[in-house]
C-alpha cells in the first residue's frame, strides 16, 4: 500500500476524522491488524484563519505549498488537503509538489453523479459557498449547485467557525442547518454536499432531509482506493 499524505489542521477536528476514516477503510479492505501508511503535516489554523479574513490568499497559498512539500518529503505518494475551503488555492499547492493531489470536490462530484443526482445543495464556509473555485469545479462535472440565501449563509459560516471548529456541537445549530436544507430542497436541490469537513460532526445522514454527501469520507475512501491500486 502506498503512503497517503495528509495536509491538515484546518481544523484538527476534521483532520482527526480523516485519520480514522482512512484507517477504518484500510482495515475493512485488508483485514487483521492492517492500517494505512500515512504522512501528515498538521498546521496551526489560527494564523491561516486571520489570512482568510484579510483576504490574503496569496499568503495562504504560499504557506500551504510549503507545508505540502513537507508532506511529500515525509514520504507521501499522494496528497490530500483535508479542508474544502483551502481548495481555493489547490492549484498552487498541486503545482508545488511532484506527487498527485486528489481534489476533494472531484471525489465528491464523482459520487454524486454515480448516484444520479445533479442539483446539490452546497453548505460550507462563506468562501466555499460564495466564491467560484468550488462551484465551478462541480459545474465542470455536470452539477448545478444551489447555495442558501445571504442570512442562511451567514449562519452556516458562523456555526462552522464559532462552534464546529472548536469542538462544539449544538442541537439548535443542527435544527438551523436542517431548515436551510429544507429551503434548498424546496428550490429543487436533490442532495446535500457537506462542503466543509466539519459539517458531518453536526449533520448526519439520519438528520438530513436529503441524501448527504460527506466530503471527508469520500475523500478518505478515494485515497485508500488510490493507495491500494
pLDDT at 70: 98
Instruction: List residues bridging with 194 in a β-sheet.
Output: 123, 214
Cell triple for 164: 464546529
Q: Are the beta carbons of 163 and 153 closer than 8 angstroms?
A: no
Cell triple for 126: 462563506
Cell triple for 61: 497559498
pLDDT at 149: 96
The 3-state secondary structure of the chain, one letter per residue: CCCEEEEECCCHHHHHHHHHHHHHHHHHHHCCCCCCCEEEEECCHHHHHHHHHHCCHHHHHHHHHHHHHHHHHCCCCEEEECCCHHHHHHHHHHHHCCCCECCHHHHHHHHHHHCCCCCEEEECCHHHHHCHHHHHHHHHCCCCCECCCHHHHHHHHHHHHHCHHHCCCCHHHHHHHHHHHHHHHHCCCCEEEECCCCHHHCCCHHHCCCCEEEHHHHHHHHHHHHHHC
Cell triple for 30: 485488508
pLDDT at 107: 95
Q: In whole angstroms, give the CA distance from residue 186 to residue 149.
A: 13
The residue from 15, 83, 85, 128 that is catalytic is 83
pLDDT at 88: 96
pLDDT at 155: 97
First to last CA, the chain: 8
Q: What angle do CA 186, 205, 138 make, to 5 degrees?
A: 65
pLDDT at 119: 97
Peptide bond into 106 cis (omega under 30): no
Q: How far is CA 16 from CA 40, 206, 210, 220, 229, in A?
A: 11, 22, 26, 12, 24
* Residue matched to cell numbers 445571504: 150
One digit per residue, pLDDT tens: the chain, 229 residues?
999 999 999 999 889 999 999 999 999 999 999 999 999 999 999 999 999 999 999 999 999 999 999 999 999 999 999 999 999 999 999 999 999 999 999 999 999 999 999 999 999 999 999 999 999 999 999 999 999 999 999 999 999 999 999 989 999 999 999 999 999 999 999 999 999 989 999 999 998 999 999 999 999 999 999 999 9
Give yes or no: 196 in active site: yes
Prediction pTM value: 0.92
The residue from 125, 196, 197, 208 that is catalytic is 196
pLDDT at 148: 97
Amino acid at each position: 500500500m502506498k503512503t497517503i499524505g495528509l495536509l491538515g489542521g484546518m481544523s484538527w477536528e476534521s483532520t482527526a476524522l480523516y485519520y480514522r476514516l482512512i484507517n477504518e477503510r484500510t482495515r475493512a479492505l485488508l483485514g487483521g491488524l492492517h492500517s494505512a501508511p500515512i504522512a501528515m503535516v498538521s498546521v496551526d489554523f489560527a494564523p491561516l484563519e486571520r489570512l482568510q479574513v484579510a483576504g490574503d490568499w496569496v499568503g495562504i497559498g504560499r504557506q500551504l505549498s510549503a507545508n505540502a512539500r513537507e508532506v511529500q518529503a515525509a514520504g507521501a505518494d499522494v496528497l490530500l488537503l483535508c479542508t474544502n475551503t483551502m481548495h481555493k488555492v489547490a492549484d498552487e499547492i498541486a503545482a508545488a509538489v511532484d506527487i498527485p493531489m486528489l481534489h476533494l470536490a472531484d471525489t465528491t462530484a464523482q459520487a454524486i453523479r454515480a448516484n444520479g443526482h445533479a442539483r446539490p445543495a452546497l453548505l460550507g464556509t462563506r468562501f466555499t459557498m460564495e466564491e467560484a473555485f468550488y462551484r465551478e469545479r462541480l459545474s465542470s462535472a455536470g452539477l448545478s449547485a444551489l447555495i442558501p440565501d445571504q442570512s442562511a449563509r451567514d449562519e452556516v459560516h458562523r456555526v462552522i467557525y464559532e462552534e464546529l471548529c472548536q469542538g462544539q456541537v449544538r442541537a439548535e445549530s443542527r435544527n438551523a442547518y436542517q431548515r436551510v436544507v429544507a429551503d434548498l430542497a424546496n428550490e429543487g436541490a436533490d442532495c446535500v454536499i457537506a462542503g466543509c469537513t466539519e459539517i458531518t460532526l453536526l449533520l448526519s445522514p439520519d438528520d438530513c432531509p436529503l441524501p448527504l454527501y460527506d466530503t471527508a469520507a469520500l475523500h478518505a475512501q478515494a485515497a485508500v482506493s488510490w493507495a491500494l491500486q
